[in-house]
Structures are given as structure tokens and as C-alpha cells.
Amino acid sequence: MASPTPYSTGKKTRLDPLYPLKRWLDNREIQDRSVAHFICRVIPCSCPFERTITVFGHQLFHIPPLCKLNPLYHQFVLLRLKALSYLADVCGENVDHYIC
């Protein structure tokens, strides 16, 4: 058995059927202002499902951010960051209204 590399986690590798889509999303470059605006409008800056349920000022329970269960979560966050960076750095726009 080969020794693990310094970068391995020791876990067995398994097939990830979403890997091609993840790689495609990771490699996307934003080069159009309208596309960047669309991405910033469609991908929220925080999980819309996270809630704290309170009744009469008492916290009953907290619903954690469920977006992290999405297998493409990190790719979407990175894509939104790329769009924000493009709008701010290349287009010189103020992106404060897209930041939570």
C-alpha cells in the first residue's frame, strides 16, 4: 500500500458525478457587466433559509444555514465573488447594494 501524500486526507476517493459541473463553474470568468449583475442578483449573499424563531421575545430554536448542504455551494459563492470583483475592479461600480 502506498503511503499517503502530504496533501491527501487519508479518505478513499470516490466518484463525484458533479465534478465536471464544479470544475466548469470554477473556471468561469466574468467578462460582461450584465452577466455579473445577473449573478449578483440571483445568488444571495447569505442563506435565505437561516432563521431564529422567537415568540414573545424568547428564542425557541434556530434553523441553521441549509445552503451549505448544497453540493455546489462553494462554487456559487466563488462565482458571486468573481462577479462582485469584476463589477468593482473592472467596471468601477459601487457594489455596496449587493453586499449584506
Residue 16 lies inside a defined structural domain of this protein: no
| CA torsion through residues 70, 76, 77, 78, sign | positive
Residue 26 lies inside a defined structural domain of this protein: no
- Quick one: which of 23, 29, 28, 25 has its CA closest to 89? 29
The count of structural domains within the chain is 1
Residue 37 lies inside a defined structural domain of this protein: yes
Residue 93 lies inside a defined structural domain of this protein: yes
Residue 19 lies inside a defined structural domain of this protein: no
Q: Per-residue pLDDT averaged across 55-84, rounded? A: 91
Q: Per-residue pLDDT averaged across 4-12, rounded? A: 55
Q: Per-residue pLDDT averaged across 3-7, rounded? A: 53
Domain, as residue range, for 78: 31-98
Predicted TM-score (pTM) of this structure: 0.75
Q: How confident is the model at residue 30 (pLDDT cuts 50, 70, 90)?
A: very high
Residue 10 lies inside a defined structural domain of this protein: no
Q: Determine contact, residues 100/45, Cβ cutoff 8 Å.
A: yes
53 CB neighbour count, 10 Å cutoff = 10
Residue 83 lies inside a defined structural domain of this protein: yes
Task: Provide the mean pLDDT of the chain.
Answer: 87
Q: Per-residue pLDDT averaged across 70-81, rounded? A: 93
